[in-house]
Amino acid sequence: MLEGKTAFVTGGSRGIGAAIVRKLAAAGAAVTFTYNSSPDAARAVAEAAGNGAQAVRLDLADADAVAAAVRGLPKLDILVNNAGTFELASVAEATLAAFDRMFAVNVRAVVAAVLEAAKIIPDGGRIITVGSINGEAVPFPGGAFYAGSKGAVRMLTKGWARDLGERGVTVNVVQPGPIDTDLNPADGPFGAVLTGMTALKRYGKPEDVAELVAFLAGPAGGNITGAALITDGGMTA
């Protein structure tokens, strides 16, 4: 399905990003993915994914480095902005430093990657960002910065879809509900509560998100752009 395509995935060493790397490589894409603090995990993902998947170290808090990494790619058909961070901070204890940390990785790195990608991606290319259902609603206290960052990428996506549409480049955001990763483990403190909030009484898996990303990346996604697609077990139903 993705034979001959080249993909760049941020945060591919663990969790959802690792599943996206495996899925895109299995579909035939040549995948380069980034890691930051998990080199051993990144190596294992590259080996498991096969098809020549390559890991490169990149701190997404450094927007200049992100721009340089995308600019240096020899070819780019599919950009997947997956990496993200999450910190809880209610308004009483929140700091501007925490805001800057969250927005640097969840928003500024995405902007840096897309501005460079738009220069080199061919007609018909794909830009996909992993947002969150918290880009639409915040069903718990302390999530303002995270939700703000995910709402920002949702609206940036719609704007970029308009900018790049005439070239056939699609730009979409995938918005997961709870997914079983280190960031939000199913057996963690919120796992049972979150499962109970879904319609399916099912905690999501990284592969659920990877399937949706691969669909958007492939030919079947050609008429979808500016969309925010939810995979959340019906949590927002």
Ligand X SMILES: NC(=O)c1ccc[n+]([C@@H]2O[C@H](COP(=O)([O-])OP(=O)(O)OC[C@H]3O[C@@H](n4cnc5c(N)ncnc54)[C@H](OP(=O)(O)O)[C@@H]3O)[C@@H](O)[C@H]2O)c1
List the catalytic residues.
146
CA 101, distance to chain mean position in Å, is: 17
Q: Nearer Cβ to ligand X, position 77 or 208?
A: 208
Phi-psi region of 233 (alpha: psi -120 to 50; beta: other; left: phi over 0): left
Query: Can you give the three-state secondary structure of 120-136, one letter per residue?
Result: HCCCCCEEEEECCHHHC
Torsion angle, alpha carbons of 32, 38, 44, 46, to 10: 0
Residue whose token pair is 């995405």: 110
Per rule CB under 6 A, is residue 89 in the interface with ligand X? Answer: no
Q: Which amino acid is at 142?
A: G
Q: Please pick, from the candidates 5, 17, 21, 108, the single residue that binds ligand X as defined by CB under 6 A.
A: 17
**Using CA atoms, how far apart are residues 123 and 183, in angstroms rounded to an integer?**
35
Residues 207-226 that bind ligand X (CB under 6 A): none
Q: Nearer Cβ to ligand X, position 15 or 151?
A: 15
Per rule CB under 6 A, is residue 108 in the interface with ligand X? Answer: no
Q: How far is the CB of 142 from ligand X (least distance, A)?
A: 15
Contact 194, 232 (CB under 8 A): no
Per rule CB under 6 A, is residue 11 in the interface with ligand X? Answer: yes
- 107 Cβ partners below 8 Å, 6+ apart? 149, 152, 153, 156
Applying CB under 6 A, which part among 112-120, 155-163, 173-181, 214-222 lies near ligand X? 173-181
Q: How far is the CB of 106 from ligand X (least distance, A)?
A: 6
Q: Please pick, from the candidates 125, 143, 176, 221, the single residue that binds ligand X as defined by CB under 6 A.
A: 176
Q: Please pick, from the candidates 2, 9, 16, 53, the single residue that binds ligand X as defined by CB under 6 A.
A: 16
Q: Nearer Cβ to ligand X, position 146 or 160?
A: 146
SS3 state of residue 121: coil
Q: Nearer Cβ to ligand X, position 132 or 198?
A: 132
Q: Please pick, from the candidates 5, 7, 9, 13, the single residue that binds ligand X as defined by CB under 6 A.
A: 13
Q: Which amino acid is at 226?
A: G
Q: How far is the CB of 234 from ligand X (least distance, A)?
A: 15
**Using CA atoms, how far apart are residues 69 and 87, in angstroms rounded to an integer?**
26
Spatial CA neighbour of 229 closest among 144, 87, 129, 126 = 129
Q: Nearer Cβ to ligand X, position 124 or 190?
A: 190
Q: How far is the CB of 83 from ligand X (least distance, A)?
A: 4
Binding site for ligand X (CB under 6 A): 11-17, 34-38, 58-61, 82-86, 105, 130, 132, 176, 178-179, 181-184
